[in-house]
Amino acid sequence: MSLTIYLSGEIHTDWREQIKLGINASNLDITVLTPVLNHENSDNIGNEILGDEENPFWKDHKSSKINALRTQNAIKKADIVVIKFGDKYRQWNAAFDAGLAAGLGIPTIILHQPQLIHPLKEVDAASMAVAQNPEQVVKILKYVCQN
Amino acid sequence: MSLTIYLSGEIHTDWREQIKLGINASNLDITVLTPVLNHENSDNIGNEILGDEENPFWKDHKSSKINALRTQNAIKKADIVVIKFGDKYRQWNAAFDAGLAAGLGIPTIILHQPQLIHPLKEVDAASMAVAQNPEQVVKILKYVCQN
Amino acid sequence: MSLTIYLSGEIHTDWREQIKLGINASNLDITVLTPVLNHENSDNIGNEILGDEENPFWKDHKSSKINALRTQNAIKKADIVVIKFGDKYRQWNAAFDAGLAAGLGIPTIILHQPQLIHPLKEVDAASMAVAQNPEQVVKILKYVCQN
Amino acid sequence: MSLTIYLSGEIHTDWREQIKLGINASNLDITVLTPVLNHENSDNIGNEILGDEENPFWKDHKSSKINALRTQNAIKKADIVVIKFGDKYRQWNAAFDAGLAAGLGIPTIILHQPQLIHPLKEVDAASMAVAQNPEQVVKILKYVCQN
Amino acid sequence: MSLTIYLSGEIHTDWREQIKLGINASNLDITVLTPVLNHENSDNIGNEILGDEENPFWKDHKSSKINALRTQNAIKKADIVVIKFGDKYRQWNAAFDAGLAAGLGIPTIILHQPQLIHPLKEVDAASMAVAQNPEQVVKILKYVCQN
Amino acid sequence: MSLTIYLSGEIHTDWREQIKLGINASNLDITVLTPVLNHENSDNIGNEILGDEENPFWKDHKSSKINALRTQNAIKKADIVVIKFGDKYRQWNAAFDAGLAAGLGIPTIILHQPQLIHPLKEVDAASMAVAQNPEQVVKILKYVCQN
Amino acid sequence: MSLTIYLSGEIHTDWREQIKLGINASNLDITVLTPVLNHENSDNIGNEILGDEENPFWKDHKSSKINALRTQNAIKKADIVVIKFGDKYRQWNAAFDAGLAAGLGIPTIILHQPQLIHPLKEVDAASMAVAQNPEQVVKILKYVCQN
Amino acid sequence: MSLTIYLSGEIHTDWREQIKLGINASNLDITVLTPVLNHENSDNIGNEILGDEENPFWKDHKSSKINALRTQNAIKKADIVVIKFGDKYRQWNAAFDAGLAAGLGIPTIILHQPQLIHPLKEVDAASMAVAQNPEQVVKILKYVCQN
């Protein structure tokens, strides 16, 4: 079965690369979509393209909406959304993506370390699997896609 | 116009009470829904009703799903979801609720202090208003409901 | 919070009465919907109203569709569907109702004895709570509805 | 007309192979999706990938959800869901799939022996055809797909 | 269970009155919606309110759309649509209403004499019951609504 | 723009061939779907595949549902549904298809002679164009698809 | 039949009052929803409640979103949306409301003078009636609601 | 990420050509859909194909609906709708398209000069980006589509 997946969340580690490598190594028929992964570029894209905002709220607002053109389209195209939470940053956008997927009826796999179990309980409870590392995600995808 | 609103997020301050008082003071035709606000009760409800789990993951899992029976029904019944973010805790469930409302096409009002603008940029960008205090939320509701 | 629930499944024990008594005892704001509980009546209703069929397939077919006018409308009106599985009979209609609720995005509570865990694993996995007796269901409803 | 079908239900007979052979023999433009057919593998996949659970309920729970990532995506992609019921096992997951397809508005063909007519009456009544053997299913598919 | 029904189709016999009398006689909790039953009024309403059209196509067009404001809203509000076919007139609007209900996922009861079985086969096949007289429809409604 | 169209209605004239020829002549990027056009085959398909029914109602019922597997899937896949009404037969299935398309939000083109304007007024009023001959339908499709 | 209507568009004439008076005079069971009709208040509400913006784009942005909390909820609650276009101002918000209603499947009545026929052709073509004065709208509503 | 976009609005300047050139220059994987851009042809298409109407209202009506077969299908197929507003003409169809996209949940980019900020405030507030020239739109698309 061919699938489209979207990899949401943490952008300062290489977990997406590990999943892509695993998908390629197993030759799975999976299209992988991601957000823009250049943090600085994604934060400034509104000002860069549409002109400067002095007020940081509107600067963030413009950039976030341009990013949403990509991320929300990618989530709608996905059969499964994989979301990675880490210790750094608040990652409210990752939890927002999990909720958005739930509202659209798209199943999720959540990826995080055991110490985050309690704060992520509602997000985990709405998901189809909770993994601790990218290898487990690849194994799930391999199982799900097998012929 | 009569409305139903759901008040999601932070549970350790009295912001919901302030909004309810404001709604009553202005005699607005608004039904207010909330999650269960007793933190300990809401964390333990799975074990309490359905029996003990030793593994904290499944304890959280059972409680979260029972809470979801209430919160997700409340969000679906709401015309507007108001979500408060604070400095304490990670509040990924609040961001999840914002995403869920977006996926269901229900508009949101986000409530937070200015120092959270950057981490909340995606959540704010998907909302209809960003307020800094409960009084502003009441004013918006009063404006929206007026005859 | 007021709720509408539908009680699906097993019809030869008094579990629905126990839930209704519990709801009344706790004065919960819950509307309870049920299928027609007279087994013989529900099996024969097609022939009775619309005329005899000799072929048992079409006799069942006509009755099932008239019952579906009630059960499927009730499921669509419900905020929560509670489904009881027992040892007797195959109860494929109960599992069908669980799937229908899932397809419509309506959350379920499943009620069954521990010995049915393995055959019900897919149904349980799609639910928000798995209870073993009607008292637990009442406790969940009481928790979910509290003001 | 090209179609995608999903073959749900009984996994201990070769009915799926017969349907696939019939589709190939008639050169029909049909993509066939199935669940994972290795029973043991599908029962244990949760523990295998995500770690052991001692409690059989949670073991089943984890496996069922990983399988649901495959089966529910396959049902959503299908134009027609074919569901086979047999005498062995309770097959509540098969009836769940029939309900899920109904809730999503996807038509079903039900496949079973005449002795199961009465217990399957609600499932049959919600379907577009009730066949007794794989050859009949292939004939229906051939008729439906013809140019 | 309270229900809303819409009575579509044939307007030159008193079948709607018979159903309403039966509902009242049995004290059923059913709201009955109907199209405008004055044939001449319904044919001319476009010209009457919005001004004359010489071209009969546009005269019909304007009237049909004003009638659709009533009939399509009524169908959307209905839990069950009852549609009566007779020998007179072509009644394509009745068959259109049956299709519209099917597209919206609202179940139908079809009412007609046995001689119309063949031309109505597709409409009947998409319905939940096929009755021959208003008494049968009342009996179905009484069965479906019982407490 | 590439399109998929479904040609519903009258099966005893060659209007579908004329439209297909026109589409080919203009080299339009249009996929054409149709019902099974062999009248006798389509009437008997239920009995032929699934076994004899003596009661003509159930014979029609089984055939109609097998045909619906094709026609309803084709309508859901279509961007535009073209429906031809003629003088012969009652063609309630054609009007049903028009209603189904309306309920699913798929636009229609209706094709009929001027003498049918009054009985088709509700069907025409719900359509995007009313043509009198296949050439006009081809011209509309050519206009709609142009680059 | 009881109805909810939303009156969108032109706010500098008294057309809404005329429609409300007509509804009251005929004692129709219609709930009337409107936008906030105080132009200045509606333009400034963002700055007033949420604090000043110097940039007129963001001032307009904040006010428009607060107004959308009212107008989009009102449109979703409406069975019929009535939209008045006049000569003054560009009224792109009125045309936006017409499109929003179309996207949500809610029927519209458009109200305008004959000189606007050409620029409003797409909006009119998507509506169920085009009236020239409030009296005609009241007559349509009276016809649609009659018992 | 591959995307489909629809370019709505102003047809008397070459903004669509500029966007297409930019897309080609950057080799983006974007399918571009547009309305028919020959103004006279699009105004007269109804009369041309389906026969003359003397009343300009019905002439416009027939043409608008044929155009809607193209434009509404294109909007439904689009991942992003770009809408250009200019000073000339009232462009109510452009604002209608923006509302239709909003009702269907499809994100928009609005393109206009700063002097139109106030009249377009509701349309802009419902969009994901407001650009002033085609180059900015191309930059956004390039950012959104990057691998």
H and G touch per CB criterion (3+ pairs under 8 A): yes
Question: Quick check: B117 and A56 CB within 8 A?
Answer: yes
The predicted-structure confidence for G14-55, as pLDDT tens digits, reads as follows 999 999 999 999 999 999 999 999 999 999 999 999 999 999
A&B contacts, CB < 8 Å: 123
pLDDT at residue number E69: 98
Q: Are G31 and G5 in contact (CB under 8 A)?
A: yes
Residues in chain E, overall count? 147
**CA-based nearest distance F85→chain E, Å:** 10
Question: Quick check: F72 and D140 CB within 8 A?
Answer: no
Report the interhelical angle of C56-77 vs E134-145 (nearest 10°): 60
> ipTM higher than 0.90?
yes
Structure tokens at B43: 């964390």
Nearest CA in chain B to D54: B55
Residue D87 has pLDDT above 90, yes or no: no
Considering only CB atoms, which chain G residues are within 8 Å of H95? 92-96, 99
**CA-based nearest distance G65→chain E, Å:** 29
**CA-based nearest distance F8→chain C, Å:** 28
Q: Are D80 and D59 in contact (CB under 8 A)?
A: no
Considering only CB atoms, which chain D residues are within 8 Å of A132? 50
**CA-based nearest distance A134→chain B, Å:** 19
Q: What are E's interface residues with H at a Cβ cutoff of 8 A? A: 55, 58
Of the candidates E3, E128, E136, the beta carbon closest to that of C68 is on E128
Question: Quick check: B97 and A99 CB within 8 A?
Answer: yes
**CA-based nearest distance A3→chain D, Å:** 9
Considering only CB atoms, which chain B residues are within 8 Å of G50? 129-132, 136
Average pLDDT of G116-135?
98
Residue F88 pLDDT level (bands cut at 50, 70, 90):
confident
pLDDT at residue number D122: 98
Question: Which letter, b or e, does each residue of B15-50 get, where b requires 16 or more Cβ atoms within 10 Å of its Cβ?
Answer: bbeebbebbeeeebebebbbbbeeeeebbebbbebb
Considering only CB atoms, which chain B residues are within 8 Å of D53? 55
Residue F89 has pLDDT above 90, yes or no: no
Residue G89 DSSP one-character state: S
Residue B27 has pLDDT above 90, yes or no: yes
Q: Are B63 and B47 in contact (CB under 8 A)?
A: yes
Residue C44 pLDDT level (bands cut at 50, 70, 90):
very high
List, in order, residues 6 or more apart from D94 with CB less than 8 Å away. Answer: C92, C95, D8, D9, D10, D83, D84, D85
The predicted-structure confidence for G61-72, as pLDDT tens digits, reads as follows 999 999 999 999
The predicted-structure confidence for A54-103, as pLDDT tens digits, reads as follows 999 999 999 999 999 999 999 999 999 999 999 888 999 999 999 999 99
pLDDT at residue number B3: 98
The predicted-structure confidence for F94-132, as pLDDT tens digits, reads as follows 999 999 999 999 999 999 999 999 999 999 999 999 999
Q: Apex CA B114: angle with CA B111 and CA B117, to 5°?
A: 80
The predicted-structure confidence for D134-147, as pLDDT tens digits, reads as follows 999 999 999 999 98
The predicted-structure confidence for D5-48, as pLDDT tens digits, reads as follows 999 999 999 999 999 999 999 999 999 999 999 999 999 999 99
Return d(Cα F116, Cα F91) in angstroms, integer: 13
E and B touch per CB criterion (3+ pairs under 8 A): no
Residue D108 has pLDDT above 90, yes or no: yes
Q: Are B47 and B59 in contact (CB under 8 A)?
A: yes
Residue B13 has pLDDT above 90, yes or no: yes
Considering only CB atoms, which chain C residues are within 8 Å of B69? 80, 107, 109, 128-129, 140, 144
Question: Quick check: E64 and F89 CB within 8 A?
Answer: no
* Burial class of residue H29 in the structure, from the number of CB atoms within 10 Å of its CB (0-12 exposed, 13-18 middle, 19+ buried): exposed
Residue H89 has pLDDT above 90, yes or no: no
Q: What are D's interface residues with B at a Cβ cutoff of 8 A? A: 53, 55, 58
Average pLDDT of B27-41?
97
Of the candidates H79, H128, H139, the beta carbon closest to that of A65 is on H128
CA dihedral A135, A140, A143, A145 (to 10 degrees): -110
Return d(Cα D78, Cα D3) in angstroms, integer: 8
Say which amino acid occupies H22: G
CA-to-CA dists, residue B109 to B24, B136, G141, angstroms: 19, 10, 35
The SS3 assignment for A68 reads helix
Q: What are D's interface residues with C at a Cβ cutoff of 8 A? A: 56-57, 60-61, 63-65, 67-68, 85, 89-104, 114, 117-126, 130
Instruction: Please list the alpha-helical segments (H only) found in G33-89.
Output: 39-50, 56-77
CA-to-CA dists, residue H135 to C106, H111, H139, angstroms: 46, 10, 6
Q: Which phi and psi (to 5°) does residue B10 adopt?
A: -30, 125
Structure tokens at B69: 């029976």
C38 C-beta neighbours (distance < 10 Å), count: 12
E and C touch per CB criterion (3+ pairs under 8 A): yes
Residue E110 pLDDT level (bands cut at 50, 70, 90):
very high
What are the beta bridge partners of residue F3?
F30
Q: What are D's interface residues with A at a Cβ cutoff of 8 A? A: 33, 36, 45, 49-50, 62, 65-66, 68-70, 72-74, 77
- In terms of Cα–Cα distance, which of G103, G83, G82 is closest to G91? G83
As a whole number, the mean pLDDT across chain E is: 97
Considering only CB atoms, which chain F residues are within 8 Å of D146? 36
Q: Which phi and psi (to 5°) does residue H26 adopt?
A: -95, 0
pLDDT at residue number E108: 98
The fraction of chain B above a pLDDT of 70, given in percent, is 100
- In terms of Cα–Cα distance, which of F67, F80, F92 is closest to F10? F92
The fraction of chain H above a pLDDT of 70, given in percent, is 100
Residue B87 pLDDT level (bands cut at 50, 70, 90):
confident
The predicted-structure confidence for H105-138, as pLDDT tens digits, reads as follows 999 999 999 999 999 999 999 999 999 999 999 9
Residue F10 pLDDT level (bands cut at 50, 70, 90):
very high
**CA-based nearest distance A35→chain D, Å:** 22
Question: Quick check: H49 and F144 CB within 8 A?
Answer: no
Residue E88 pLDDT level (bands cut at 50, 70, 90):
confident
Question: Quick check: C72 and E1 CB within 8 A?
Answer: no
Interface probe for A, chosen from D52, D62, D69 (most Cβ of A below 10 Å), is D69
The predicted-structure confidence for C67-120, as pLDDT tens digits, reads as follows 999 999 999 999 999 999 998 889 999 999 999 999 999 999 999 999 999 999
List, in order, residues 6 or more apart from G138 with CB less than 8 Å away. Answer: G18, G19, G22, G23, G26
Return d(Cα G143, Cα G131) in angstroms, integer: 14
Question: Quick check: D121 and C65 CB within 8 A?
Answer: no
Can you say how many angstroms the Cα of residue C103 is from the centroid of all Cα atoms in its chain? 16
Nearest CA in chain D to A132: D50
The predicted-structure confidence for A88-143, as pLDDT tens digits, reads as follows 889 999 999 999 999 999 999 999 999 999 999 999 999 999 999 999 999 999 99
pLDDT at residue number D145: 96
Question: Quick check: F103 and E102 CB within 8 A?
Answer: yes
The SS3 assignment for D36 reads coil
Return d(Cα F103, Cα E104) in angstroms, integer: 5
User: Within a 13 Å sphere around the CA of F15, how many CA atoms are in the beta-carbon half?
Assistant: 26
Average pLDDT of E131-146?
98
pLDDT at residue number G89: 85
The fraction of chain F above a pLDDT of 70, given in percent, is 100
- In terms of Cα–Cα distance, which of F123, F36, F37 is closest to F83? F123
